[in-house]
């Protein structure tokens, strides 16, 4: 048996899933494990700087590149990440392609000198990725890239068969047996584990994989949602290791800049600009790596920001500005607001931005990574703008339970790939939400204090002796 336990990490091929699992790989390796991180050529190319830095450091992380069978699965060649899908219609093809990685994964596992101590696989991965572990009798752990709040809600709704009794998808109901404050949702806001995109067979397989796993690893921390973690562990009858916020692994600025992809802007330019701004005066706007904002809605956002008269950093994806009229409007907008705003065209070094003292608010799509980064970076309160999947439930946690956010007013999901007609939040509402967050009077000050307090708790959880630090220690001991 090797002196170092060998962990094999199998993330879903999506930025929001690969990034925290890479952070986990760092933590495992630094705490005495050997790690194999399964990826593909395109995804490895995105983090080449990080991979090179790991090789130079001698950290025992091995990046294993499999060839994704794009053509065989009906995907365009090179389409190796969910954010590269030309449309949501290719979702099933992407899941099919990932499922085809079972054979190379099994060959890799069989080729090891001794069986790995554990395979950690993303909950959203198709069942084929867990079949290899079962066949080779390798212990398996499920990784949830969400809070415990979300899967607990989803499980309780699923177990009580609530959706079987709901005809109107906008009919509200209370999540049954939910601990603490009552949570009221409707069907479109709580669409289940895969956001309504997966088949019933895939959901059943995923739940079965969870039920037969040794335990679960969660990117959260005990102090953030204690009652939900305890209830989730009790309900599943399995060990739940909360080891986050994983984003806090990156303490070096250079590591933060290259986390997940190459930044589209010079890090020094951002920091110099932020250094010139007053503390907590800047609002940061980003909708994550996947969901797109349609042209008309994009213009509404910009108009609301302009009317708010607040300093801002706004992330706009390349495909969102691919329409000449949109790029022309953005250039004119940029010229009008150049004294108080920056537009980042592409990938942004989000942790660097959120960690800066000048940033006082975050307009976010409520993806769990972004939510945690806002909490962990410096306790930054949020304007919540959920789009799909777990994001409406994340909004409930942020606004209703933790009380560190202001809702932009979204009631129904919008498409990942927004059409031009999709204007769901008007400029006046955007301006109002930004003002409420940044200048909310006594209520706003209390919100900011709660966010700062959670940020301090997050950092203590990851420090030596903290709850997440100890949970990682127990995870390693369990499989050693």
Which CATH architecture fits 262-458?
3-Layer(aba) Sandwich (3.40)
pLDDT 10s digits, 378-416: 789 999 988 877 888 999 999 999 999 999 887 766 655
Sequence spans of domains, the chain: 6-249+460-478, 262-458
- Measured between alpha carbons, how far is 439 from 312 in angstroms, rounded to an integer? 14
What per-residue confidence (pLDDT) applies to 411? Answer: 73
Q: Which fold has domain 6-249+460-478?
A: Rossmann fold (3.40.50)
What per-residue confidence (pLDDT) applies to 171? Answer: 86
Residue 11 in 3-state DSSP? coil
| Consecutive 10-residue averages of pLDDT for the chain (480 residues) | 84 92 95 96 92 93 96 94 85 91 94 93 85 90 91 86 83 88 83 56 73 92 95 92 90 52 69 92 87 83 92 85 81 90 87 92 92 88 86 92 90 59 81 87 89 94 96 94
Distances (CA, A) of 148 to 37, 45, 225, 476: 24, 32, 7, 21
- Yes or no: say if 75 and 90 are a contact pair by the CB < 8 Å rule: yes
What are the phi and psi torsion angles at 224 (to 5°)?
Answer: -80, -40
Give the predicted TM-score (pTM) of the model. 0.89
Can you give the length of the chain in residues?
Answer: 480
Q: Provide the token pair at 377.
A: 């970076």
Q: Look at strands 184-185 and 173-174 and give their pairing.
A: antiparallel
- Asked if the domains 6-249+460-478 and 262-458 are classified in one and the same CATH topology, the answer is yes
The CB-side HSE value for 223 (13 A sphere, CA atoms) comes to: 21
Distances (CA, A) of 275 to 267, 270, 306, 353: 12, 9, 21, 11
What per-residue confidence (pLDDT) applies to 167? Answer: 83
- Yes or no: say if 382 and 456 are a contact pair by the CB < 8 Å rule: no
- Yes or no: say if 355 and 250 are a contact pair by the CB < 8 Å rule: no
Only one residue has tokens 């395979």, namely 119
Please, what is the Cα angle at 194 between 192 and 198, to 5 degrees? 110
Residue 345 in 3-state DSSP? strand
């Amino acid at each position: 048996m090797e002196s170092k336990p060998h962990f094999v990490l199998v993330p879903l091929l999506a930025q929001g899933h690969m990034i925290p699992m890479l952070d986990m790989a760092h933590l495992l390796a630094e705490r005495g494990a050997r790690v194999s991180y399964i990826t593909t050529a395109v995804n490895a190319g995105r983090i080449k700087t990080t991979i090179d830095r790991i090789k130079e450091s001698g950290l025992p992380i091995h990046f294993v590149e499999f060839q994704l069978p794009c053509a065989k699965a009906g995907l365009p060649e090179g389409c190796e990440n969910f954010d590269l899908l030309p449309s949501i219609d290719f979702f099933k093809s992407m899941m099919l392609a990932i499922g085809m990685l079972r054979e190379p994964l099994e060959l890799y596992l069989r080729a090891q000198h001794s069986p790995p101590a554990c395979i950690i696989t993303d909950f959203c991965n198709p069942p084929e990725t867990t079949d290899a572990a079962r066949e080779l009798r390798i212990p398996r752990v499920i990784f949830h890239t969400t809070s415990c709040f979300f899967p607990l809600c989803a499980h309780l709704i699923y177990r009580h068969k609530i959706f079987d009794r709901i005809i109107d998808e906008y009919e509200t109901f209370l999540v049954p047996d939910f601990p603490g404050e009552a949570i009221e949702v409707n069907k479109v806001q709580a669409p289940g584990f895969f956001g309504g995109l997966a088949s019933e067979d895939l959901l059943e397989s995923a739940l079965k994989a969870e039920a037969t796993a040794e335990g679960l690893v969660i990117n959260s921390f005990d102090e953030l949602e204690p009652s939900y973690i305890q209830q989730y562990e009790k309900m599943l009858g399995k060990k739940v290791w909360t080891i986050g916020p994983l984003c806090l692994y990156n303490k070096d600025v250079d590591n933060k800049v290259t986390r997940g992809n190459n930044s589209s802007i010079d890090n020094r330019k951002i920091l110099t600009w932020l250094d010139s701004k007053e503390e907590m005066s800047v609002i940061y706007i980003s909708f994550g790596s996947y969901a797109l904002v349609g042209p008309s809605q994009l213009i509404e956002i910009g108009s609301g920001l302009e009317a708010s008269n607040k300093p801002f950093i706004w992330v706009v994806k390349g495909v969102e500005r691919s329409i000449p009229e949109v790029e022309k409007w953005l250039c004119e907008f940029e010229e009008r607001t150049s004294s108080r705003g920056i537009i980042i065209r592409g990938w942004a070094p989000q942790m660097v931005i959120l960690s800066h003292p000048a940033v006082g608010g975050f307009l976010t799509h409520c993806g769990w990574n972004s939510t945690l980064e806002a909490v962990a970076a410096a306790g930054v309160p949020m304007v919540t703008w959920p789009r799909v999947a777990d994001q409406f439930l994340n909004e409930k946690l942020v606004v209703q339970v933790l009380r560190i956010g202001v809702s932009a007013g979204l009631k129904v999901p919008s498409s990942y790939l927004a059409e031009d007609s999709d204007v769901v939040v008007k400029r006046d509402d955007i301006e109002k939400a930004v003002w409420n967050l940044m200048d909310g009077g006594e209520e706003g000050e209390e919100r900011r204090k709660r966010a700062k307090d959670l940020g301090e708790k997050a950092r203590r959880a990851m420090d030596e002796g903290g709850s997440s630090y100890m949970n990682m220690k127990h995870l390693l001991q369990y499989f050693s």
